[in-house]
């Protein structure tokens, strides 16, 4: 197993659903598993994107902050970048991009996509940090800010997970964005047109880490929840 063939994941999307939002991994630890990644902070404190080993947070006011080693997260992905050129794209919407990549790539394993270029009519969101006792994901995510740009240069960082892992991860694509000027980004809700180059990195291993020292998580009874339904409403 090569390190660059492994996608690391801390936590699951499922645990966010009932509001298990404690930060259970530090950024320092997360960066040991990759120089590239995405995530959210404790209490859904903004949207994280790690590029070239630097962890950026887009907070609910739209500010882009570099976070410290002791910043904690309930859910995150990271990996060591070794992307390969896939294709060039011109004026593709998010749905068109997802479809084009899907047609070029197996749907049955995990991979990451990195697109650098110009994005038009791009819409992102970032949630406002909540505090204990946490509300559910659905409730907390209502307190989100939406950001829009007509045209912006930047990097789209995405993870694709096979449908069978939906619930643990996001089945399908999960896109985060950061502008080159570090003044815009977040969890991507959509874009009208992306023009630039697409790189891909395919994984053969998911290293799924769970917060077994977090009592709220370990004692939680998930059986009453429609976890997948709630995730798809919130994402």
Query: Is 63 or 106 the residue whose CB approaches a copy of itself more closely?
Result: 106
Q: Apex CA 30: angle with CA 206 and CA 117, to 5°?
A: 80
Nearer CB in complex with a copy of itself: 105/120? 105
**Minimum CB separation from a copy of itself for residue 225, in Å?**
10
235 binds a copy of itself (CB under 8 A): no
Using an 8 Å Cβ cutoff, are 169 and 161 in contact? yes
Q: Indicate which single residue of 63, 68, 87, 163 sits in contact with a copy of itself (rule: CB under 8 A).
A: 163
Comparing CB distances to a copy of itself, the nearer of 101 and 152 is 101
State the DSSP code for 62: S
- Nearer residue to a copy of itself within complex by CB, 79 or 149: 79
Look up residue 67 and give its DSSP letter. Answer: P
Q: Is 136 left (phi over 0), alpha (psi -120 to 50) or beta?
A: beta
Of 14, 64, 86, 178, the one binding a copy of itself (CB under 8 A) is: 14
How far apart (Å, rounded) are the C-alpha atoms in residues 20 and 26? 16
Coil, helix or strand at residue 44:
coil
Query: How many other C-beta atoms can be found within 10 angstroms of the C-beta atom of residue 40?
Result: 24
* x/- letters, 102..121, toward a copy of itself (CB under 8 A): ----xxxxx-----------
The answer to the question of residue 212 lying near a copy of itself (CB under 8 A) is yes
The pairing of beta strand 6-10 with beta strand 205-209: parallel
Interface positions with a copy of itself (CB under 8 A): 1, 12, 14-15, 106-110, 162-165, 167-168, 202, 204-212, 217-223, 227
């Amino acid at each position: 197993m090569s390190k660059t063939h492994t996608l690391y994941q801390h936590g699951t999307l499922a645990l966010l659903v009932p509001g298990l939002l404690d930060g259970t991994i530090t950024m320092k630890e997360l960066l040991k598993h990759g120089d590239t990644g995405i995530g959210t902070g404790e209490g859904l404190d903004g949207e994280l994107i790690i590029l070239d080993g630097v962890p950026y947070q887009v907070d609910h006011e739209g500010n882009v902050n570099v976070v410290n080693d002791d910043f904690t997260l309930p859910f995150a992905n990271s990996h060591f970048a070794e992307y390969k050129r896939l294709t060039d794209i011109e004026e593709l919407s998010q749905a068109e991009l997802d479809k084009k990549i899907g047609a070029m790539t197996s749907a049955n394993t995990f991979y990451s996509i990195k697109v650098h270029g110009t994005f038009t009519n791009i819409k992102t969101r970032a949630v406002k940090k909540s505090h204990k006792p946490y509300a559910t994901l659905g409730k907390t995510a209502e307190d989100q800010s939406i950001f829009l740009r007509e045209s912006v240069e930047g990097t789209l960082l995405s993870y694709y997970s096979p449908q069978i892992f939906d619930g643990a991860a996001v089945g399908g694509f999960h896109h985060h964005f950061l502008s080159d000027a570090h003044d815009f980004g977040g969890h991507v809700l959509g874009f009208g047109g992306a023009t630039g180059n697409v790189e891909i990195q395919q994984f053969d291993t998911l290293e799924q880490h769970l917060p077994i020292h977090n009592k709220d998580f370990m004692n939680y009874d998930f059986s009453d929840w429609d976890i997948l339904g709630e995730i798809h409403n919130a994402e």
